[in-house]
Structure 1
Amino acid sequence: MLVVEDLSRRFGAKTAVDRVSLEVAPGSFVGVIGRSGAGKSTLLRMINRLQEPSSGRIIADGVDVTALKGQELRDWRASCAMIFQQFNLVGRLDVLTNVLMGRLNRVGTLSSVLRLWSEQDRAVALSALEMLDIAPLAAQRADSLSGGQQQRVAIARALVQEPRIILADEPIASLDPRNTKVVMDALLRINRHFGITVLCNLHSLDLARTYCDRLVGMAAGKVVFDDAPAALTGDAARDLYGFEAGEVMELPETSPEPAFAASVAAA
């Protein structure tokens, strides 16, 4: 269980996240929604400890994450993998090496510097690429790939960390509808197949309703909605987004493929 208790982050006089409290059950797929500047990214970055909270606590399975330091903090970040909007790949390196970077916490410093990856590490990385249908791209430079392909590489890198939680910060913001579907299907597959908890910041309410089993709505740094997707009515969306509600409530352009949805239901 991931528990966020009265978590706040202030930047000078501005409060980006204001006393947020949440409980996230293992294996859930939670969409964090709200306008730009609502505090969604800051919340996820604090959970990963990339951003330090100004006050409050983060508890994971009884461990106070906000108190972790050194190797324990590195272990937490490995078990709570981040996926970023801009992919954060090393463009001049090949795809396989980028994925193997997710294993750094599991190998020695010298081995990581010299890129002396074990056969087991390579097998894990290739397996992740195969799951995301991009294994044939393993030898290509990361900067030669399309945006959707790069984001799948980033997901593979997160997956080889063997995380308990994946934090996806607007993972489809720069992608076209086709690649949006591919990336969201991949996150759903990982969530359902491995039981990995996913917290995903999303701008589109239609995508959030399609893929998530719970929605957390933020406005001005506060949680103002926390319920099942079906409970997010038009009025609730307008409370969250104001005049932007029409832009984020368009009819969904994509939905999980029937074959994939059937395979998930049968799993």
Structure 2
Amino acid sequence: MLELQGLTRCFGAVTAVDAVTLTVPAGQMVGVIGRSGAGKSTLLRMINRLTDPSSGRILHRGRDITALRGPALRRWRTGCAMIFQQFNLAPRLDVLTNVLVGRVNHVPAWRALTRLWPEADRAIALSALAQFDMAQLAAQRAGSLSGGQQQRVAIARALVQEPQVILADEPVASLDPRNAALVMGALAAINRDFGITVLVNIHSLDLARAYCERLVGLDAGRLVFDGPAAALTEAAARRLYGLEAAEAVGAEAPSRIPVPA
């Protein structure tokens, strides 16, 4: 179980996240929604400890994550994988090597530095790629892939970390609708097949409704909605998104695109 207790982050006089208290049961997929600047990215970055809270606590299975330092913090970041909007791949390296980067904390440092990965780890990486129908691209340079393919490589890299939690920060913001649905389907498959807790920041309310069982809404850093997707009315959504409502709320929810099992 992941618990946020009065989590707050201030940047000077600006409060980006304001006393957010939230409990996420293990194995749940949660969509974090709200307009641009609502505090969604800052919230996820605090959970991963890329940004330190100004106050409040983060607990995972009763352990105080906000108190972690050094090796313990590095281990948390392995167990709490982060997926970014811009993929964060090494474009000149092949797809398999990019995925194997997720195994860095599972092998001796010299193996990672020399890229002499054990066969067992290579098999784990290939299996992760196969989860998303990407194994046939293992030898291809990452930079030659489409945006949607690169994001699925990033998801495979997160999966091989063997995390308990995956945080996805606007993973579909730069993708076309079909690739956005493929990436959301990949995250949903990880959640379904491996029981990994997934928190995904997403601007599109239609995608959030289609793939997430629970929605958490932020407005000016405050938690203003928490419930199942069906409980979020159009009127509530428009209050959440304000002037961005037309962009965030489409005419109808997109069709789910299945990911190969």
Structure 2 length as normaliser, TM-score? 0.97
Q: What is the one-letter code of the residue matched to 1:158?
A: A
* Partner SS state of residue 251, structure 2: coil
* Partner SS state of residue 18, structure 2: strand
CA distance in structure 1 between the partners assigned to 2:174 and 2:234 by the alignment: 26
Q: What is the one-letter code of the residue matched to 1:124?
A: I
CA distance in structure 2 between the partners assigned to 1:10 and 1:105 by the alignment: 32
1:164 to partner: Cα distance: 0.7
| 1:98 maps onto 2:98 in alignment | yes
In structure 1, what is the equivalent of residue 200 of structure 2?
A: 200
1:58 to partner: Cα distance: 0.3
CA distance in structure 2 between the partners assigned to 1:210 and 1:199 by the alignment: 15
In structure 2, what is the equivalent of residue 84 of structure 1?
A: 84
| 1:255 maps onto 2:255 in alignment | yes
1:246 to partner: Cα distance: 2.2
Summarize deviations over 1:119-166 as a string: whole Å, max 9, x none.
000000000001111111111111111100100000000000011111
CA contact (8 A) 1:207 1:252 kept: no
Which residues in structure 2 correspond to 1:223-242 (within 5 Å)?
223-242=223-242
1:253 to partner: Cα distance: 6.0
CA contact (8 A) 2:206 2:254 kept: no
In structure 1, what is the equivalent of residue 36 of structure 2?
A: 36
Summarize deviations over 1:182-214 as a string: whole Å, max 9, x none.
111111111001111110001111111111111
Give the number of equivalent residue pairs: 261
Q: What is the one-letter code of the residue matched to 1:7?
A: L
1:115 to partner: Cα distance: 1.2
CA distance in structure 2 between the partners assigned to 1:108 and 1:255 by the alignment: 44
In structure 2, what is the equivalent of residue 112 of structure 1?
A: 112
Q: What is the one-letter code of the residue matched to 1:206?
A: D
| 1:3 maps onto 2:3 in alignment | yes
CA distance in structure 2 between the partners assigned to 1:105 and 1:68 by the alignment: 17
CA RMSD of aligned residues (A): 1.4
Instruction: Give every structure 1 segment of 4 or more consecutive aligned residues whose post-TM-superposition deviation is greater than 6 Å.
Output: none
CA contact (8 A) 1:82 1:167 kept: yes
Q: What is the one-letter code of the residue matched to 2:236?
A: A
In structure 2, what is the equivalent of residue 45 of structure 1?
A: 45
Structure 2's unaligned 5+ residue stretches are none
CA contact (8 A) 2:35 2:219 kept: yes
CA distance in structure 1 between the partners assigned to 2:45 and 2:247 by the alignment: 26
CA contact (8 A) 2:33 2:201 kept: yes
Structure 1 length as normaliser, TM-score? 0.95
Summarize deviations over 1:31-56 as a string: whole Å, max 9, x none.
00001100000000000001111111
CA contact (8 A) 2:215 2:228 kept: yes
